[in-house]
């Protein structure tokens, strides 16, 4: 079995790392370059860097910040926020990103997934999907969770896979920042119905939640922010606990 991955997420707004609850009420969590360096040193498997205001404000992810973060880390590094073209991705990869994450732009122009895969390969194209339950259905949302669509999470995920994306980063907006655990039922369905890796996001509050999402949610990787940013969980301790629970991780 492939090793499960632990991925700290750095949500960036105005050059600072921030964290909120259910996508709102953001508070400062530190300097992204410093945090990235710490996580790389402490044993994170990958990092995700999302400029959460880039799409909303119709501007591009700050390539110079990407460059500075990439200079400090020696682990794979995904960048997202405001990416809408092959040219955007080219700039980010040239500045040190290993992968890119697209979200709103993929929904608005699904052909973008095909174009990016054709140019850069599936391995570096991650499609992020933010969804929340509305009347029992998982509804995809855009622009940092502000705009609901008519897309069903599972149907959209299947289309994303068909178009060649290498991974899906699924964030449950209902669970985000609550620290009540990941949306494991939805994750397990995604993992069962798709053949590409699924990254769980939204809801991590303690080490048991990570164990649960790997076992019950069948996730390939688990992404979290506040529990790492505010030093509630140390990556080394988390990996040791996962290992004790017979979950394969890189120590």
Note the pLDDT of residue 226.
Answer: 85
List the CATH number of the domain containing 191. 3.20.20.70
Vertex 76: Cα angle to 127 and 59 (nearest 5)? 50
Q: Which domain holds residue 49?
A: 5-244
- What pLDDT, on a 0 to 100 scale, did the predictor assign at position 59? 46
Asked if residue 231 belongs to a domain, the reply is: yes
Give CA–CA dist 66/226, Å, rounded: 21
CA geometry: angle at 160 spanning 156 and 166, to 5°? Answer: 145
Q: Known catalytic residue: 11?
A: yes
User: pLDDT value at position 19?
Assistant: 64
Q: Give the largest Cα separation in the chain, rounded.
A: 45
Q: Is the pLDDT of residue 31 over 80?
A: yes
pLDDT for 27 = 66
In a domain, 39, yes or no: yes
Predicted pLDDT at 58: 43
In a domain, 250, yes or no: no
Overall pTM > 0.85: yes
The pLDDT tens digits of the residues spanning 33-71 come to 999 999 999 999 999 998 877 555 444 556 888 899 889
**Which of 6-15, 111-120, 227-236 has maximum average pLDDT?**
111-120
Mean pLDDT, rounded, for 220-246: 95
Asked if residue 230 lies in contact with residue 38, where contact means CB atoms within 8 angstroms, the answer is no
Q: What is the mean pLDDT of residues 208-229?
A: 96
Regarding predicted confidence, which is higher, 177 or 183?
A: 183
Domain count, the chain: 1
Mean pLDDT of 198-211: 97
Residue 210 within a domain: yes
How far, in Å, CA of 221 to CA of 6, rounded? Answer: 6
Answer yes or no: is 137 within a domain. yes
CB 89 within 8 A of CB 101: no
User: Backbone phi, then psi, for 5, in 5-degree steps?
Assistant: -105, 140
Task: Answer yes or no: is 195 within a domain.
Answer: yes
Sign of CA dihedral 13, 16, 19, 20: negative
| From 45, 51, 130, 176, the catalytic residue | 130
Residue 176 is among the residues annotated as catalytic for this protein = no
The active-site residue, picked from 11, 45, 51, 220, is 11
The pLDDT value recorded for residue 177 is 80
Nearest alpha-carbon partner for 19 in 63, 60, 50: 50
CA 51, 57, 59, 60: dihedral to nearest 10 degrees?
A: 10
Alpha helices in 152-202 (DSSP H): 153-162, 184-193
Length of the chain: 251
- CA–centroid distance for 220 within its chain: 12
Identify the top-confidence range among 11-15, 31-35, 193-197.
Answer: 193-197
* Exposed e or buried b per residue across 98-134, where buried means at least 16 C-beta atoms within 10 angstroms of its C-beta: bbbbbbbbbbeeeebbebbbeebebebbbbbbbbbee
Burial of 50-62, coded b for 16+ CB within 10 Å and e otherwise, reads: bbbbbbbeeebbb
Residue 124 included in any domain: yes
- Does any domain span residue 106? yes
pLDDT at 60: 56
Q: What is the pLDDT of residue 124?
A: 97
List pLDDT tens digits, range 80-92: 988 999 999 999 9
């Amino acid at each position: 079995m492939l090793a499960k991955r632990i991925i700290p997420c750095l949500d960036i707004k105005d050059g600072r790392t921030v964290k909120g609850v259910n996508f709102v009420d953001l508070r400062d969590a530190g300097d992204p370059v410093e945090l990235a360096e710490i996580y790389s040193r402490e044993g994170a498997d990958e990092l995700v860097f999302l400029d959460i205001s880039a799409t909303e404000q119709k501007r591009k992810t700050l390539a110079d910040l990407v460059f500075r973060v990439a200079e400090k880390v020696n682990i794979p590094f995904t960048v997202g926020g405001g990416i809408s073209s092959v040219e955007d991705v080219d700039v980010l990869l040239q500045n040190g990103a290993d992968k890119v994450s697209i979200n709103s732009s993929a929904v608005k122009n699904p052909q973008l997934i095909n174009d990016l895969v054709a140019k850069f390969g599936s391995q570096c194209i991650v499609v992020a999907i933010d969804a929340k339950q509305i009347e029992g259905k998982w509804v995809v949302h855009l622009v940092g969770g502000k705009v609901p669509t008519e897309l069903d999470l599972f149907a959209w995920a299947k289309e994303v896979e068909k178009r060649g994306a290498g991974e899906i980063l699924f964030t449950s907006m209902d669970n985000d920042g609550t620290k009540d655990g990941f949306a494991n039922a939805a994750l397990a369905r995604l993992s069962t119905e798709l053949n590409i890796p699924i990254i769980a996001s939204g809801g991590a509050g303690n080490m048991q939640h990570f164990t649960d999402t790997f076992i019950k949610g069948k996730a390939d990787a688990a992404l979290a922010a506040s529990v790492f940013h505010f030093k509630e969980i140390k990556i080394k301790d988390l990996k040791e606990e996962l290992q004790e629970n017979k979950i394969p991780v890189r120590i």
